[in-house]
Amino acid sequence: MTDEWSAGKLDLDAYLHRIGYAGPAQPCEATLAALHRAHLAAIPFENLDIMLGRPVRVDLESIQAKLVDAGRGGYCYEHGQLFGAALQRLGFEVERLLARVGPDREPMRPRTHLTLRVRAGDSAWLADVGFGNSPPGPLSLHGGRQELNGQVYEVVHDAEDGTWKLRELVEGEWVTQYRTEDQRVYPPDVVMSNHYTSTYPESWFTWQPIVARREPGALRAIVGRGYTITRPGHPKERRQLTDDEFVDALSTIFGLRFTEEELAALVAAPTGPPTAA
């Protein structure tokens, strides 16, 4: 069998150390949930290489060098491949899926999000550690309504178009976060989607810094200079950061370290959409 996604190149021990995980390693729901929580808490979601004018590389060796060895974060193509490789090495069956982000009743968007469908025995889960506001844990594909840390989700199959939808209950209404298709994904598909996401002028990721971290009980995020804290059952906290507060938050809240030159470039990076000429 070929190692299509290069999982054999992962330094599994280094990855587990990076996320602070020393628990059981059997391929079961409890292990998957524990790894999912540990990964989210340890490795931030961020697009800061794009803000620094660097290409985002999505081969596993580059991802490991950045997210594991250098202590950085990344976005879905990086998180999904890293987590998927670790799960494969632990004996889970992993499918990579590309998803279309956005609610129902909106124009169709391109497939710009990488998520995972994970199986062990007769059970299957949607496991997503790279969505920015990822669910706090894996979601059963056989379950219906599921509550995690005070948030309510469901994964439903849409018989009309054959997609699987991740939906979250927001203020009493089900909101579709994204939908996946039962279409096999290959590494070159991720390369193409990543190129679009990281270079297309209208992509959110090309014109503002985005950083997020889900910890137990809270999701902390920066978009541009807007800083939010989301806690289930509480009003969302919002405020605008000064440049100095933005720089401080990168290290103190998100655990990211940059050189003085890199920080100056991040402060100078755009924080809003490009204006029309």
CB of 19 closer than 8 Å to CB of 234: no
* DSSP three-state, residue 199: helix
Q: Which residues contact 170 (CB under 8 A, 6 or more apart)?
A: none
**Which helix H or strand E contains 100, and what residues bound it?**
strand 93-101
* DSSP three-state, residue 119: strand
> Over 50: is that where the pLDDT of 277 sits?
no
pLDDT digits (tens, 9 = 90+) for 105-145: 888 899 999 999 999 989 999 999 999 999 999 999 987 89
- Tell me which of 113, 122, 243, 248 is the catalytic residue: 113
- Tell me which of 39, 49, 76, 79 is the catalytic residue: 76
| Torsion of Cα atoms, 229 then 230 then 234 then 237, to 10° | 30
Cα Rg for the chain, rounded, in angstroms?
Answer: 18
Predicted local confidence at residue 158, as pLDDT? 85
Predicted local confidence at residue 44, as pLDDT? 98
CATH code linked to domain 8-268: 3.30.2140.20
> Over 70: is that where the pLDDT of 1 sits?
no
> Over 50: is that where the pLDDT of 61 sits?
yes
Which tokens is 204 given? 């959110």
Active-site residue flag, 76: yes
Structural domain boundaries in the chain: 8-268
- Mean pLDDT over all residues of the chain? 95
Active-site residue flag, 49: no
> Over 50: is that where the pLDDT of 64 sits?
yes
pLDDT digits (tens, 9 = 90+) for 204-256: 999 999 999 998 889 999 999 999 999 988 899 999 999 999 999 999 999 99
Predicted local confidence at residue 160, as pLDDT? 82
> Over 60: is that where the pLDDT of 186 sits?
yes
For residues 277 and 30, what is the distance between their CA atoms, to the nearest angstrom? 53
Which residue carries 């469901």 as its tokens?
154
Active-site residue flag, 182: no
Query: What DSSP character marks residue 273?
Result: P
Q: Which residues contact 159 (CB under 8 A, 6 or more apart)?
A: none
pLDDT digits (tens, 9 = 90+) for 12-51: 999 999 999 999 999 999 999 999 999 999 999 999 999 9
226: left (phi over 0), alpha (psi -120 to 50) or beta: beta
- Tell me which of 36, 39, 49, 128 is the catalytic residue: 128
Q: Which residues contact 80 (CB under 8 A, 6 or more apart)?
A: 96, 114, 115, 116, 128, 129, 130
